[in-house]
Amino acid sequence: MARPPASPSARKAGPVTLGMVAEASGVSPSTVSRILNGTAVVSAEKKAAVDRAIAELGFVPNPIARGLAGGRTMSIGVITQFIDSPFFGVAMRGIEETLSEAHYSALFVSGHWDVEVEQRCIDTLMGRRVDGMIILNGRVGDAALRQLAKQVPTVVTGRSIKAPNVYAMDYDHREGARLATQHLIARGHRDIAHIGGDQSHSDARERLAGYQTALEAAGIPFRPALVECGNYLEEGGRQAAERLLASPQRFTALFAANDQMAMGAAVALHKAGLRVPQDVSLVGFDDLALAMHMTPPLTTVHQASLELGRLTAQALLEMLAGGKPTLKLPEPRLVERDSVAAVARSIGR
Amino acid sequence: MARPPASPSARKAGPVTLGMVAEASGVSPSTVSRILNGTAVVSAEKKAAVDRAIAELGFVPNPIARGLAGGRTMSIGVITQFIDSPFFGVAMRGIEETLSEAHYSALFVSGHWDVEVEQRCIDTLMGRRVDGMIILNGRVGDAALRQLAKQVPTVVTGRSIKAPNVYAMDYDHREGARLATQHLIARGHRDIAHIGGDQSHSDARERLAGYQTALEAAGIPFRPALVECGNYLEEGGRQAAERLLASPQRFTALFAANDQMAMGAAVALHKAGLRVPQDVSLVGFDDLALAMHMTPPLTTVHQASLELGRLTAQALLEMLAGGKPTLKLPEPRLVERDSVAAVARSIGR
DNA sequence: TTGTAGGCGTTATCAG
DNA sequence: CTGATAACGCCTACAA
Question: What domains can be seen in chain B, in order of their start residue?
Answer: 8-61 (1.10.260.40), 75-170 (3.40.50.2300), 173-302 (3.40.50.2300)
Distances (CA, A) of A227 to A245, A287, B185, B305: 11, 21, 45, 34
**H-helix or E-strand spanning residue A323:** none
Distances (CA, A) of A219 to A185, A190, A214, A215, A349: 10, 10, 9, 6, 22
Within 235-264 of A, beta carbons closer than 8 Å to B belong to: 235, 238, 263-264
For residue A308, the model assigns a pLDDT of 97
Q: Is the pTM of this model over 0.85?
A: yes
Nearest to A168 by CA among A177, A181, A155, A152: A155
Most confident of the ranges A56-60, A155-159, B1-5: A155-159
B108: contact with A, CB 8 A cutoff: yes
User: What's the per-residue H, E or C state across chain B?
Assistant: CCCCCCCHHHCCCCCCCHHHHHHHHCCCHHHHHHHHHCCCCCCHHHHHHHHHHHHHHCCCCCHHHHHHCCCCCCEEEEEECCCCCHHHHHHHHHHHHHHHHCCCEEEEEECCCCHHHHHHHHHHHHHCCCCEEEECCCCCCHHHHHHHHCCCCEEEECCCCCCCCEEEECCCHHHHHHHHHHHHHHCCCCCEEEEECCCCCHHHHHHHHHHHHHHHHCCCCCCHHHEEECCCCHHHHHHHHHHHHHCCCCCCEEEECCHHHHHHHHHHHHHCCCCCCCCCEEEEEECCHHHHHCCCCCEEEECCHHHHHHHHHHHHHHHHCCCCCCCCCCCCEEECCCCCCCCCCCCCC
A17: contact with B, CB 8 A cutoff: no
Cis peptide before B297 (omega within 30 of 0): no
| Mutation to test the A interface, candidates B7, B9, B145, most A Cβ within 10 Å | B9
B14: contact with A, CB 8 A cutoff: no
For residue A8, the model assigns a pLDDT of 40
Pairwise CA distance, residues B335 & B304, whole Å? 12
A266: nearest CB among B86, B107, B295: B295
Residue B300's DSSP bridge partners are B284, B335
Residue B346 has pLDDT above 50, yes or no: no
B64: contact with A, CB 8 A cutoff: yes
- Find the nucleotide nearest A29 (Cα to C1′): D3
Q: What is the percent of chain A where pLDDT is above 90? A: 85
CA of B315 to C1' of C8 (A): 29
Q: b/e per residue, B9-31, with b = 16+ CB within 10 A?
A: bebeeebbbbebbbebbebeeeb
B11: contact with A, CB 8 A cutoff: no
Higher-pLDDT residue of A13, B348:
A13
Q: How confident is the model at residue B5 (pLDDT cuts 50, 70, 90)?
A: very low
Pairwise CA distance, residues A296 & A291, whole Å? 9
Nucleotides of C under 7 A from a protein CB: 1-13
Contact B63, B75 (CB under 8 A): yes
* Cβ contacts of B270 on chain A, cutoff 8 Å: 295-296
- A10 with B147: Cβ contact below 8 A: yes
- B60 with A127: Cβ contact below 8 A: yes
Residue A38 has pLDDT above 80, yes or no: yes
CA of B43 to C1' of D11 (A): 20
Question: What is the amino acid identity at position B300?
Answer: T
Q: How confident is the model at residue A348 (pLDDT cuts 50, 70, 90)?
A: very low
For residue A78, the model assigns a pLDDT of 98
B92: contact with A, CB 8 A cutoff: yes
Residue A4 has pLDDT above 80, yes or no: no
C-alpha distance from B219 to closest chain A C-alpha (Å)? 34
CA of B73 to C1' of C5 (A): 24
Residue A346 has pLDDT above 50, yes or no: no
pLDDT, tens digit, 9 for 90 and up, residues A244-301: 999 999 999 999 999 999 999 999 999 999 999 999 999 999 999 999 999 999 999 9
A124: contact with B, CB 8 A cutoff: yes
B127: contact with A, CB 8 A cutoff: yes
- B64 with A60: Cβ contact below 8 A: no
State the DSSP code for A85: -
Q: How confident is the model at residue B15 (pLDDT cuts 50, 70, 90)?
A: confident
Q: How confident is the model at residue A71 (pLDDT cuts 50, 70, 90)?
A: confident
CA of A27 to C1' of D5 (A): 16
3 state SS of A289: helix
Q: How confident is the model at residue B40 (pLDDT cuts 50, 70, 90)?
A: confident
For residue A7, the model assigns a pLDDT of 42
Residue nearest to nucleotide C1 (CA to C1'): B42
Average pLDDT of span B104-128: 94
Among A122-131, A331-340, B79-88, B92-101, which stretch is predicted with the lowest mean pLDDT? A122-131
Among A111-120, B4-13, B331-340, which stretch is predicted with the lowest mean pLDDT? B4-13
Residue B119 has pLDDT above 80, yes or no: yes
pLDDT, tens digit, 9 for 90 and up, residues A196-224: 999 999 999 999 999 999 999 999 999 99
The residue in chain B having the minimum alpha-carbon distance to the alpha carbon of residue A84 is: B89
* Cβ contacts of B272 on chain A, cutoff 8 Å: none
- A295 with B266: Cβ contact below 8 A: yes
pLDDT, tens digit, 9 for 90 and up, residues A146-177: 999 998 999 999 999 999 999 999 999 999 99
Kind of pairing, strands B333-335 and B299-302? antiparallel
Residue B14 has pLDDT above 80, yes or no: no
Residue A11 has pLDDT above 90, yes or no: no
CA of A98 to C1' of C1 (A): 52
- B83 with A295: Cβ contact below 8 A: no
Pairwise CA distance, residues B181 & B164, whole Å? 37
For residue A40, the model assigns a pLDDT of 85
A93: nearest CB among B7, B82, B92: B82
The residue in chain A having the minimum alpha-carbon distance to the alpha carbon of residue B65 is: A68
B5: contact with A, CB 8 A cutoff: no
A64: nearest CB among B64, B106, B119: B64
pLDDT, tens digit, 9 for 90 and up, residues B58-95: 888 999 999 998 778 999 999 999 999 999 999 999 99
